[in-house]
Structure 1
C-alpha cells in the first residue's frame, strides 16, 4: 500500500486523471460489449452451383430434414483493436493534460500558503484558472495584504513605544548621578543599562522582522568560515567541518541567525564552539555545539520565548537580553527551516539549524 501510494499520491491531479481514465475505459468496454452482443450473424458464402449439384446426395422421402447450425459470428479484425488502443491512448493524453491544467492553480495556491507561514513578503498568487480558483487566489492575496499591514502596524507601534521609553530612561540616569550613595547609584545604573540593552534588542528585532529582503544564492560554507575567522580574531576557538553547496536563501536573515547561535555558544561554552555542516535527505543541517553546562530538558523550548533567560547558566549578569534565540528561530522559519536545541551526549548544548534545500529551489524556479 505504501509503494502504491508513492506511485499514485492522493492529489487533485491524480483524482482528476484517474476519473477521466476510468470514464474512458468504461466507455470503451460498453461500446465493445454492445458491438459483440448486437452484431448481426455472418452469413456463410454460398457454395458454387456445380459443386453443390455434384456433392448433393439424392433426397429421400424418408430422410428427415435437419436444421442447419446458426452461422458463426464474426470476430473484430486487428485494425479494430488497434484503433481502440490508439483512441484510448490519445484520450488518456488529453485527460492528463486537462487534469494537470486544472490542478495547477490549486498547487500554486498550496505553495503560496506554505510560503506565507514563513515570509509575509512572499509574492502574491497568480489569479489564473477557473473562476473558483481565481476567486480563491484573490481572497488569499487580500488576506496576505491585511496580515502584512497588521504586522507592519504592530511593528511601528512597538518601535514607537520602545523609542519613547528612551526619554524617561535618560532622565532617570541623570537623576541617578545626583545620588550620594555610590552603591545604590551603581545598582540603579546597572538596571538602566539593562533596560537600554533590552530596548536596543527590541528595536533590532522589530527592524529585522519588518525588513524586506531578496532571496539570493549564498555559499554557506564560506559564510561560516568567515564567521569563524572573525571569532578567532577576538580570541575565540571555532572549528568548522563539513561542506555545503550554494543555497537559495535570505543572506542577511541566515547570517543573523547563525551569528546569534555562535555568540551564545561562545558566551556559555568558554569561548569555544564547533560547527558541523551536513547534507542529508534534501536538507542542510548546521550544528553549532558548545561545551557549556547545557540547558535542562524541560526548558529547551522555553528559552525561545522573548526575554526569557535561565537564572542558573544564562542570566543577565553574563550578558544578553533574551532575544537572541527568538530572533534565530524567527529567521529559521522565514527561511522555511527549523531551529532546535538538544543536550549532547558528551556534554554541552547543540543548536541545530535545518534548512530544506527544495524550499529555496522552488522559489528560484518560480
Structure 2
C-alpha cells in the first residue's frame, strides 16, 4: 500500500491522534485535583454530629435493625475495609479533637461505602458515605474513548483524502488502461469539480496525442507511397546506363530504397491496425514460417513445437515470426526454433550462432532504422525495421519480445505470449 493516498491518510490520522492525546494529557495536568481533605473534614463533622446524637439518645434507641446499613447496631458490619479513605476520615476526626475512630468498608450488595465506628457505650454507628461510587469499568471506558477517537478520525480522514486525491487516482487508473497502441478511451467528465477538471485535461491530452500520432502516421505513409513513383522513374533510367557495373550499383541502391519505403509503410500499418484478434495455433504458424524459409534455402530448423494457442492477428504474428527468423538466419548464420508452454505463456525461442549484440546497444535494437551490422558481422541488405515491426506486433498482442546473448555465443530471441483461455 505504498501509495500517495495511503501515506497522506496515515500522516493526517497520526497527526490528529497525537494532537488529541496531547490535548487530553494537558487537560488532565491543568485540571484542579479534588480536595480530599475538605471532603474528609465534612464527613468527620457529619459523623461527630450523629455520634453525639446517638450518645444523647441513650440505650433506648439502640438496636435499630441488625441488617441495616445506616443507624445503630450491636456489631460492626462485614465487608472489605478501604485503608486510604479510612485514614483520611480518621485524620479529620483527630484534627477536630474527637477520639472516635471509624472504618470505611465495602459491603456486598450495597452500592455505596459504609462508615462504621464504635461509640463509648459499645454500640456501632453506621453511616453511608455520601459520595458517588468509583466507576467499575474505568479502563474500558478509556479504551473505548481511544478506539472511537481513532476510528472516527481515520474514517473522516479516509473520506477527505479520497476526495482530495481522486484526480490523482483517476490519472493512475487511466494510465493503467492505456493499451499497447497508445490509445485511450474518453473519460466521462462528471463528478466533483476536481475530478471533472482532471478528466477534461486527460481527454484533451489524449485527443492531442492521437492527432499527433495520426499526423505522423499519415506523413510516413504518404512519404513511403510518394517515393514509389520517383524510384520507379529512376529505375527505368538506370536500365539505360551502358556501364554494367554502374547500372548494377544504381539498381541495387534503388531496390534498397524500395525495401526501406515498403518496411516503413508496413510499420505504420501495424501501428494503426485494429483488426480483431483470434485464436491462433502458434506451433502450426511457426511450422509454416520455418517451411517457407527453408524453401528459399535459409538455414532455419524447427527443434520442438508443443501445441499451444494464443490470441493474435494471424497475418501480423506470421510477419513478426518471419522477421525474427530471417534476422537469425541472415545475421546469425542459422536459426533453431522451438515452441513450448511455460507457466501460462507460450514461449517461442529463436536461437542463432552469430556474434550476438553488444550489451550497450541492446536497449536500442527495437528503434526503427537501427542497425547493428558492425557488431553482427558483414553488412546485409535491410531497412533496419524488422525488429521494430516484430516488437510492435508482439506488444499489440499483449506479449513481449526479449533478446539475450548466449554465454557460448549467439543471440536468443524469445517471444512470450499469453495462452488463449479455454
Using structure 1 for the length normalisation, give the TM-score: 0.69
The CA distance in 2 between the partners of 1:294 and 1:62, in whole Å, is 109
For 1:346, what is the secondary structure of its paired residue?
coil
For 2:136, what is the secondary structure of its paired residue?
coil
Relative to structure 1, is the Cα distance of residues 336 and 16 closer, same or farther in structure 2, using a 3 angstrom cutoff? farther
The CA distance in 1 between the partners of 2:292 and 2:391, in whole Å, is 27
Deviation at 1:207, TM superposition (A): 1.7
Matches for 1:109-128 after TM superposition, within 5 Å: 109-116=171-178, 118-128=180-190
Q: Residue 345 in 1 paired to residue 375 in 2?
A: no
Larger RCO (alpha carbons 8 Å, 6+ apart): 1
2:355–2:377 CA contact under 8 A, matched in 1 = no
* Aligned position for 1:264: 327
For 1:180, what is the secondary structure of its paired residue?
coil
Deviation at 1:148, TM superposition (A): 0.8
Relative to structure 1, is the Cα distance of residues 258 and 304 closer, same or farther in structure 2, using a 3 angstrom cutoff? same
* Aligned position for 2:240: 178
The CA distance in 1 between the partners of 2:202 and 2:258, in whole Å, is 40
* Aligned position for 2:136: 75
Q: For 2:289, which of 219, 230, 234 is the aligned residue?
A: 230
* Aligned position for 1:188: 250
Where does the alignment leave 5 or more consecutive residues of structure 2 unmatched? 40-46, 48-67, 78-92, 105-128, 295-299
2:289–2:322 CA contact under 8 A, matched in 1 = no
The CA distance in 1 between the partners of 2:150 and 2:361, in whole Å, is 60
Deviation at 1:298, TM superposition (A): 4.1
Deviation at 1:342, TM superposition (A): 2.7
Matches for 1:194-209 after TM superposition, within 5 Å: 194-209=256-271
For 2:404, what is the secondary structure of its paired residue?
strand
Q: Which moved more, 1:115-124 or 1:144-153?
A: 115-124
Relative to structure 1, is the Cα distance of residues 241 and 178 closer, same or farther in structure 2, using a 3 angstrom cutoff? closer
Relative to structure 1, is the Cα distance of residues 245 and 205 closer, same or farther in structure 2, using a 3 angstrom cutoff? closer
The CA distance in 2 between the partners of 1:193 and 1:109, in whole Å, is 47
* Aligned position for 2:98: 63
Q: Which moved more, 1:105-114 or 1:195-204?
A: 105-114
Q: Which moved more, 1:167-176 or 1:299-308?
A: 299-308
Using structure 2 for the length normalisation, give the TM-score: 0.62
| Root-mean-square deviation (Å) | 4.9
The CA distance in 2 between the partners of 1:233 and 1:161, in whole Å, is 31
Q: Between Structure 1 and Structure 2, whose CA radius of gyration is higher? A: 2
